Chains A and B, each alone.
Chain A
Amino acid sequence: MTGADILLEALEREGVDTIFGYPGGANLPIYQRLHAHPKLRHILVGHEQGAAHMADGYARASGRPGVVFATSGPGALNTITGLATAFMDSVPLVAVTGQVASGMVGRDAFQESDVIGCSQPVTKHNYLVTRVEDVAPVLKEAFYIASSGRPGPVLIDICKDAQQAECEPAWEERIQRPGYRPAFEPDLSQVERAAAALARAERPVILAGHGVLLSSAEQELIAVAEKAVVPTGTTLLGVGAFPVRHPLSLHMTGFMGTGWNLKAVQNADLLMCVGMRVDDRVTAKLNDWAPRAETFIHVDIDRSEMGKNVRPHLEVVADAGTALRAMLPHLVPPPASRGAWLTQIDRWREEHPLRYAKSNGHLQPQDVMIAMYERCADEAIVVADVGQNQIWAALWWNYLKPGLFINSGGAGTMGFALPAAIGAKFARPEKAVWCVAGEGGFVMTAQELSVAVKHQLDVKIVLLNNFCLGMVRQFQDDFYGGVRSEVDLRHLPDFVKLADAYGLAGIKVERAEQLPEAFDFAQRTPGPVLIDFRIDPSANVYPIVPLGAGLNDFWEQPDDYA
């Protein structure tokens, strides 16, 4: 068998059904043999960054590694932003890039670049394959590393001659990596101490991150929160890990979290963070974060997260589900004082509700989100881009089930939503998929519309078009002295015409009264649909914590707007 055939058969053996890719000089041997592997569906993308985001959306929606093909040089380099996006959010990907022939490596050959060097900081691991004998074992190992432990992207750079050379593949089942320990059994004494601390605490709070979703530990989280009676919030990437309408729900935390969540975090005497990194978007000003917490419990699968940003009093290094299951039998009913804490949080929820401008004559983005939510009956997958649209999509939906909200929370990659939504739809064709994006991010990867059209994917694009780079405009208005600099996007195309040019249906919506009709149209029209919502250009995201400030200093929607 040739290296190309071994590669493709290895993908089949891993259960891969979809590949997002783009052919070129250094991966032609692989593309030459693609037709001989009919179990593999190849999706030809518009740009390799799109392929990486599609594979990312596919992986987040399915729980299985997404697969990317790209050629050497620019092809491979175009995947880097996508790999970094997946790396920051711990998403399993396997990217297979062509490389110039092994004898040409290092000679600055045509379309040669140091893909191993370039991708090293944004991958969990990477491989340069120069010998055909290594193709099968490297593929096996790559899938194992990408999907085990804390998941992440793995890149395999295969020299062209290794794709063409022949050998009898050795389909090893065993992986020998003495330095790789993906899973830890939780230290039970720490788990018991954590359970005891939860029971003792007067004002405990649990925050849950993406790790809970990656570990499918939502039921365990609910069980722990209910048994120990602990108010529970999520990070932006953790949205959906705890049902928003649960009586103990604190909704989203952090820089743009809800007021009652931030009040709870800032007044908690115990904080337990599960499956999250405690990054700067969660803490805002680090020194002011959770100042009253006497006990900080950190549960994460990655040992290096312990003390990276905040030093825990109790560390539980384990998969979120394993840790929470271990904790459950040790939990005891809380002290009577817990009732006062819950009452206090209810008061904060009433004092600091989510609010938005309703009567200034413009279409409000929150109204769009609410109308969309009403149509979806808690079943649709929402893929958001980056910016105001992302936060509106996170806050104004009541995610009652896990895995329905996908966004680039860590890297904050504009242009993520459309390709990731396409990938999610390929992974879960039975699900309605809504892509929520601002017009700025949308045009960064808009060429992938042709993929949605070619495959007649039911991806409904909700474009929140305010003719400006909204989040940056808001920062400039609020934190940079009102100096508006390079945020005007009035030069962007007419999106209805753009949709028409690509061959999908597009409509424009300017008033709230048109919302039902617009969503009716989107839902009854098969294939992709774009709705250009002309939203209030001054709509802002609130609450927001001013840059450099602590969570206590969050700003709310100004009264004159409400």
Chain B
Amino acid sequence: MITPEVVDTRRLRVVTAIVQDHPGVLSRVSGMVRRRGFNIQGLTVGPTGVPGRSRMTLTVDAGHAEADQVEKQLDRLIEVIEIRDVTDSPKLLRELAIVKVSVTGEQREQTTREVQGFGGRLLAANEALVIYELSGEFESVESFLGLMRPLGIVDIARSGPVAMTSLAGLAGPEGE
């Protein structure tokens, strides 16, 4: 049985970076985080619309360092093209969680309804196990997992968050 780790969110910085997708760039980024005494809580990498450039979203515990050091130290890396600490900016933050639980019969139907109420869905099921997925903000993923925990979690996969600044406070189709 795997119990989700409780994360102290007070020192967490959310940083988005556009990097050159050279070999070893992930190692440079994670190496800088380690040697400055920070700790990575979440890290996602994916392609951007521009060939040769990747987008990273890092959730980093600044440790004993000043909070702005996370962004400043990573900006020193030659292959980091753009970097922003979006912790205090209006932003969209999403994380994907996939959970395998052992739930059957009547309880399974009820759980599936509750998961759908969260905006999640059932991905797969057999006689003994069900796999649900949910994407959402950190807090809603955490409450989703809170719902799953009493059922007996067999496995969890979490993507770590991806982030993008929102449309600067404009109430629009983002629906923030």
Interface residues, chain A, with chain B CB atoms under 8 Å away: 116-117, 120-121, 124-125, 128, 145, 177-180, 302-304, 306-308, 311
Contact = CB atoms under 8 A, between A and B. Distances in A.
Contacts of A306: 72
Contacts of B23: 128
B69 A308 contact: yes
Contacts, number: 42
Contact of B78 (A125, A302, A304, A308): A125
A179 B66 contact: no
Contacts of A307: 66, 68-69, 72
A121 B73 contact: no
A304 B76 contact: yes
B77 interface: yes
8 nearest A-B pairs in the assembled complex, by CB-CB distance: A304-B72, A179-B81, A125-B78, A178-B81, A307-B66, A179-B80, A180-B78, A121-B35
Most chain A CB inside 10 Å of its own CB: which residue of B20, B77, B78, B81 = B78
B78 A145 contact: yes
Interface in B46-84: 65-66, 68-69, 72-73, 75-82
A303 B72 contact: yes
B27 A120 contact: yes
B53 to A, nearest CB: 9
Interface of B: 19-20, 23-24, 27-28, 31, 35, 65-66, 68-69, 72-73, 75-82
Contact of B77 (A116, A179, A302, A311): A179
Given A128-B24, A304-B76, 14 more contacts: A117-B27, A120-B27, A120-B31, A121-B31, A145-B78, A178-B81, A179-B19, A179-B20, A179-B78, A179-B81, A179-B82, A304-B75, A307-B66, A307-B72
A120 B27 CA distance: 9
A244 B13 CA distance: 45
Contacts of B77: 179
Contact of A116 (B24, B66, B79): B24
B66 A302 contact: no
Nearest to A306: B72
A528 B21 CA distance: 50
20 contacts: A116-B24, A117-B27, A120-B27, A120-B28, A120-B31, A121-B35, A128-B23, A145-B78, A178-B20, A179-B77, A179-B78, A179-B79, A179-B81, A304-B69, A307-B68, A307-B69, A308-B65, A308-B66, A308-B69, A311-B66
Contacts of B19: 179
Nearest to B81: A179
A179 B35 CA distance: 21
A460 B73 CA distance: 41
Contacts of A128: 23-24
A128 B73 CA distance: 23
A153 to B, nearest CB: 13
